[in-house]
Structures are given as structure tokens and as C-alpha cells.
Amino acid sequence: MSNIAILCSGGDVSGMNPALKHFVEYSLQKGMTPYFVNDGYEGLIDNNIKEATYKDVSGIINRGGTKIGSARSQRFMQKEYRDIAKKSLDMLNIDMLVVLGGDGSFRGMDIFYKEHGVKFCGIPSTIDNDISGTEYCLGVDTALNIIKTSIDAIRDTAASFKRAFVIETMGRDCGFLAVVSALTSGAELCLIPEKEYDLKCYENSFKEQIKNGRRYFIAIVAEGIKDDSETIAQWFEEKIGIESRVSTLGHIQRGGNPSVYDRLMAYRFVTYAIDGLLSGKTESVICYTKSDFLYKSIDEVANTPFKLDSELISFLDESQCIS
């Protein structure tokens, strides 16, 4: 009988708990013993690894975050600690690993695999949706829904007070959350790192819109753009002549109870990850592209730079002035 472990690494996402639940149930169904590694790669190094049972995953499917903790680990960047991590797995005869994480976690796993040959399957999990080779990462739908709810609420107050709201979304260097939120919330302005912009080119149109009765503006800006959100707000005040406020959504985007879509995707990602490992895939990431799941090598996924879907960027071009 095989022992299989799961860990969460890097930024947590809503959807990890449903993934843990199905991991335990599906591993047991397949005749394996499931283990939880607590606190990501830190837990591997410290041998913070526990056998998991049905009881451990009862009542967690509706909870955001991750029951087993996630972490960033400076120590895992060093070979001597990765060697210790391998020993932890050997002590418990764990020879398969499922890793929920972002591109950083996968780069770590790629190195770990090349050094120690631990069989594993990665499940793309980041609200940034910035992993090369997959169109969807676990947690994105829940984050988008939280952003949508926040923007809807802000719109109410913006309209009442005649204000421009600059709403900053997460995403590091990726504008995915910002652009999808802008398109689905009817924002007047969306700025993302992937697209050059010049605020000047919006000035005439925005001032004209105010003259014609517009009471408020919603601007969605990704955290990775060249200006900070305060600068954009100042531009609204000085150049457009409308009172302005910044709302940085921050970590609320990572929490909240998992959406139906993320619960289903967690179920599907985990099923494919375990099936892949059992069918002999040794170092893969389970990707979701064109409505289908496919296994890609960790080397390809971890070491290919991510590019935002050009169709999404082109929608921005259509709805906004092009500098």
C-alpha cells in the first residue's frame, strides 16, 4: 500500500480545503494512506507530517484558506534543507506528493524533483492566475466573486457622493484579476501591467462624460502597474475634477468561502493529480486548458514565463482609449 502526501505552499487560496477533503477521500478509495504536510515546505523540513483521516476533513468544504496551513520557506531554497525534507518523506515511506501552489512553489518542486526524484503532481493554486500552461488556477473564481461583490458595494457609495473610486486588485505582475473584474463590473478605466497607458488620453472623454451627467467613475487598477493607486486618484482630482478615493482590496481577495466552481475544480484537479501519479506520471502539473485537463512537465510549467491572454487585453483596447 502506498503513502501519499499533500501540501499547500505560497499564497493560500479559497479552494484548498475542498481539495484536501477530496484528497483524503480519493486516496483512501484508491487504497492509499493519505498524509498532510503542515505549513508547506517548512513542514517537510521539520517533519510536520501527519496521517489524515476522514475526521480531519469533515466540515471544511465550505471554509476558505487551508486547514493544513501554507507557508513560504526560505530554508527550502537551500539544498541542505531539501535533503532534510527528502529524509522526512522517506521516514514515513511517502513516495508521492501533491503540491498546491503557485509558480514559485513549482520552481521549488522542480528543483526538488531533479535532486531527489520524489514523484509529485502540482495543482495550480493562486488567485493571480499567472501560471504558464494552465488557463485556470484554483481560487481564481472565488477571488473574482469577492472582487465583484466589493465593486458592487463601492458603486453604491460612489454614485451617492459623486466620486471616482480607484480600486486596487492583487495579482503581482499579472493583470488578470483587474481586467476580468473591469469587464464584468463595467469599470470606466482599467490599468494593468501588461498594457502601456497614458492617462492624458482619457482626460477629454472623462470630462465630457461629467458634463453629460456622469456622477462617478470606477477605475480598476492592478497592483503591478507603474503608478501607485494614490497617483491615479490624484489624477482624477486634479485633471478630471472629481473627488476621488482609493480602495485597496488586499487580502479579502484571498478569503471567503469557496465558490461552487472552485469546489468542483478542487475535486477535479485532485482526481486528475492522483490518477496521474497512479498511472506513473512522475513530475507533472495538472493544467486546465480549453475545457480539458492535461498533464504538463514541471520543467515546462515552472520555467516558462506567463503571458496574459491576448484576447482579454484586446477587449480592454476595444473598451478604452489606446495610447
Catalytic annotation, residues:
128
Q: Which is nearer to ligand ADP, 114 or 162 (CB)?
A: 114
C-alpha cell at 172: 503581482
- Contact in structure between 316 and 195 (CB atoms under 8 Å): yes
C-alpha cell at 9: 505552499
Q: State the pairing for strand pair 94-101/189-191.
A: unpaired
Return the residue of 9, 38, 259, 320 that touches ligand ADP, per CB under 6 A.
Answer: 9
Residues in the interface with ligand ADP (CB under 6 A) total 17
- Contact in structure between 3 and 49 (CB atoms under 8 Å): no
If one asks whether residue 84 binds ligand ADP (CB under 6 A), the answer comes out as no
Tally helices (H) and strands (E) across the chain: 11, 12
How crowded is the C-beta side of 160, counted as CA atoms within 13 Å?
A: 5
C-alpha cell at 177: 484579476
For the CB of residue 216, give the shortest distance to ligand ADP in the complex, in Å: 35
User: Which of positions 20-79 make contact with ligand ADP (CB under 6 A)?
Assistant: 41, 72-73, 76-77
CA dist., res. 218 & res. 234, Å (int): 14
Q: Which residues pair with 33 in a beta bridge?
A: 3
Return the residue of 27, 38, 126, 134 that touches ligand ADP, per CB under 6 A.
Answer: 126
CA dist., res. 128 & res. 172, Å (int): 7
Q: Which is nearer to ligand ADP, 126 or 284 (CB)?
A: 126
For the CB of residue 172, give the shortest distance to ligand ADP in the complex, in Å: 8
The residue number with the shortest CB distance to ligand ADP is 104
If one asks whether residue 102 binds ligand ADP (CB under 6 A), the answer comes out as yes
Find where cell 462617478 sits.
216
Return the residue of 104, 245, 282, 299 that touches ligand ADP, per CB under 6 A.
Answer: 104
CA dist., res. 274 & res. 295, Å (int): 12
Q: Candidates 56-64, 101-109, 190-198, 209-217 — which segment interacts with ligand ADP by CB under 6 A?
A: 101-109
Q: Which is nearer to ligand ADP, 122 or 276 (CB)?
A: 122
If one asks whether residue 133 binds ligand ADP (CB under 6 A), the answer comes out as no
Q: Which is nearer to ligand ADP, 186 or 250 (CB)?
A: 250
For the CB of residue 244, give the shortest distance to ligand ADP in the complex, in Å: 32
CA dist., res. 151 & res. 158, Å (int): 10
Q: Count Cβ atoms within 10 A of the Cβ of residue 13 and give its class: 0-12 exposed, 13-18 middle, 19 or more buried.
A: buried
If one asks whether residue 111 binds ligand ADP (CB under 6 A), the answer comes out as yes
Return the residue of 66, 88, 105, 320 that touches ligand ADP, per CB under 6 A.
Answer: 105
Q: Name the site residues for ligand ADP (rule: CB under 6 A).
A: 9-11, 41, 72-73, 76-77, 101-105, 107-108, 111, 126
